[in-house]
Structure 1
Amino acid sequence: MACRPQGVRFGAWAFVGLAALLGGLACDRPSAAAPQETPPVAVVNGEPIPASVVQRELLRLRREAGSAPVHTEAELETLRRELLDDRIDRLLLLQLAKERGIEAEPGEVERLLLRLRADYPGDTFEEFLADEGIPLSQLKAELRERVLIQRLLQREVRARVVVTDDEIQAYYDSHPEEFKVPEQVHARQIVVKTREEAEALRTELRKRHGPDFAEVARSRSIAPEAAQGGDLGWFERGVMPPPFDVCFDLPVGRVSEVVESPYGYHLFQVLERRKARVLSLDEARDRIEAKLRREKEKRAQERYVALLRETAKIEINEAVLGEIR
């Protein structure tokens, strides 16, 4: 079974999804014909990192690359070191979490396991684990490690990140293009197969006491949103196919001329219109704060791990690393 993506560097790994974590375990399945383990590729505060861990990560990345060109020697060297650095970062965080006495809450690992299982109908989750040779105990251990690291980062890094009002204001003032909202319309449509049917419906709909547009859409339209009375929701120019742009020149309530497209013959009606505008600071505040917080957390986590590295005893076996291909 093809392996699923799993983060390469620390920043990506720290937020890797549960499905990706499960895919990574599948990639870690040892081969029945695997040779005896070589010396560890690194030792971190006395704890070894097996060369096979980095080897399997490299194999996973190559599988994902498919028919892409083989890495040059220089690229391979960079990739090997990045994969090893990621494992070192992870181990340092796990060691510190255990040193701090951080524990998972009762049932927390089981809840994560249930979230994973929910993506597999019936007994296919157990079948997947069996096919990939993943013991349930190993999966639970990996989930527990994930919980410990995330709890450590939340307590000692993310909880200390603060985004100030001045920073939000400065970002808003310096990125005006991000907060421009283009003109939008809320419209509905009827789509039929022939021009003759569309013209006849248009004539009826434009009568002073003609039928309700939504009811006609429900009974006659072949478009997917017919059951919703042809409601297309809000959209801006250029988001929908070109024939829909007629809505931006159509007065509210007016039924359009017949518009031909590859889908059939359309009649449009605009329900509401929003002029182009700029979001106010209050409207944009939550979005800006979330963006700045993500950026600050990422930088803070990188600094945190860098400090751990400064005080850690890390021994890398360059000869073993160089043999990983």
Structure 2
Amino acid sequence: MIKLRNISVLLLLAFLLGACSGDSDDMGIVARVNGEPIYLTQLEFQHDQFQADSVGTYVPSVEKLRNEYGEILADLIVQELVVQELGRRDLAVTDEELREAEETVRKDYPEGAFDQVLVEEYIDLKAWRRQLRYYLAQKKFFHQVLRAQIKIDYKEAEKYYRDHISDFYLPESLRVLVVRGPSRELVVKAVEKYLKDHDQVNLATAFGEVETREVVVREGRLSAPWRNALGGLKPGQASDVLTDRFGFEALVLLERSEAKVLPPAQAYPLVEEALLEKKLQHAFEEWLSGALASADIKVSEHLLNAAENSDDVPPVEMLPDGRESEPEAVEPDVMPEEPGVESDAEQGGMHDGLGEPGQGDETIPLDQVGEDTGI
């Protein structure tokens, strides 16, 4: 993931910050970026989203709260710089693009449910739309500005492949059809029909209570029951019916793949993905450094005073970052996997590569818009 929060850049940003005046015209404004305001409501909205995953009645200390607001303000300043850059290039996010993106989100909810969620989560629609526009701007900036500047030479790809050959090693794996049902007899009949017709789709029609699922399992990640059930099977053969807490299941071995190293032609998309991430990160940091050097950025004197009066946090660290260590990562909720099931990234042999932002169709989850948008 391309990161907004680069420590050295944020320290540079801290030295550039001045103070907004205390005039009534600045009421509700926490910062100005080349004259454009960032409002306290934006800061509060982002912080509310930041705290959305907190459990219980946790009350942060004043210092921690100040650090969190400083971190969020840093992101908002960078996001505003991106918006202004797009404006100078006549690439600003249009109202039509914003409307289409919002409709995409709304389609993921039953009719009327989206607005109900906003009410239940105390989310202001205007603030949400503002942050959605920021998200779209960052996405467009990477796709149409930074990505266009990046070229990957085949010699670079060859060198990366040689230097990271272990990333492209694929251990022995098995492709398995899992047949589950509420009774042993039903699973047996479903397996017999599949072995006869080799038609997975029609099993659900013929046996309404039977579920099927194809999975890829690494040999070394098999659970003991699955290892025993699949041991000695040849492709096209089925195991005995197993019993677990979810009911009954049988395993049909579809394919057994030997361990191998991906050849260069097959590995190239993954190599390109990793190189692209690295180059995008560098291009973004280079652009941001230049943008900060020429930007006129001012922060509310109230925030400056709060930082200067802190006995624990030096003022420069408070503007705008203010943190002494990286924030604790929140583990995302994931659906449980079958034993040994590989993710797409694992099957590709690379775990840290990120391709071009926005590949494929994306849906913007309601609870993610307004968080770190990943550039």
TM over 0.5: same fold? yes
Cα distance, 1:78–1:264 mapped onto 2, change above 3 Å: closer
CA RMSD of aligned residues (A): 4.2
Q: Deviations 1:184-216 (Å, cap 9, x if unpaired)?
A: 223446668888x69xx79xx9xxxx9873569
Match of 2:291 among 299, 305, 308: 308
Where 1:235 maps in the other structure, the secondary structure is strand
**Cross-structure match for 2:271:** 288
The structure richer in helix per residue is: 1
The answer on whether the counterparts of 1:182 and 1:236 sit within 8 Å (CA) in structure 2 is: yes
What does residue 172 of structure 2 align with? Answer: 183
TM-score (norm 1): 0.66
Name which of 219, 224, 233 aligns with 1:237.
219
**Residue identity (%):** 22
**Residues 66 and 318 (structure 1 numbering): CA distance in 2 closer, same or farther, change over 3 Å?**
farther
More off after superposition, 214-223 vs 138-147: 214-223
- Answer yes or no: is the 8 Å Cα contact 1:183–1:276 preserved in 2: yes
**Offset, 1:43:** 2.3
The CA distance in 2 between the partners of 1:255 and 1:87, in whole Å, is 56
Contact 2:178 2:252 in 1 (8 A): yes
1:18 maps to none
**Does the 8 Å contact 1:185/1:248 carry over to 2?**
no
- 2-structure distance, mates of 1:124, 1:211: 42
Q: Which residue of 1 aligns with 2:257?
A: 274
Q: Counterpart of 1:235 in structure 2: which amino acid?
A: V
| 1:185 partner SS | strand
Gaps of 5+ in 1: 1-6, 13-35, 226-230
TM-score (norm 2): 0.59
**How big is the shift at 1:253?**
4.4
Distance in structure 2 (CA, Å) of the matches to 1:322 and 1:242: 62
SS at 2:175 equivalent: strand
- Tell me which of the two structures has the higher relative contact order, counting C-alpha pairs closer than 8 angstroms and 6 or more residues apart: 2
Are the equivalent residues in 1 in contact too, given 2:178–2:215 (CA < 8 A)? Answer: no
Alignment of 1:167 with 2:161, yes or no, is no
Shift of residue 62, structure 1, vs aligned partner = 3.4
Q: Paired residue for 1:27? A: none
1:249 match? 232
Please identify, of 299-308 and 60-69, the stretch whose mean Cα deviation from structure 2 is larger: 60-69
SS of the residue corresponding to residue 42 of structure 1 reads strand
Aligned mates of 1:220, 1:101 — CA distance in 2: 58
Read off the aligned partner of 1:163 and give its amino acid letter: I
Alignment of 1:85-96 (within 5 A): 85-96=74-85
Taking structure 1 as reference, are residues 294 and 171 closer, same or farther at Cα in structure 2, changes over 3 Å only? same
Shift, 1:287, TM fit: 1.5
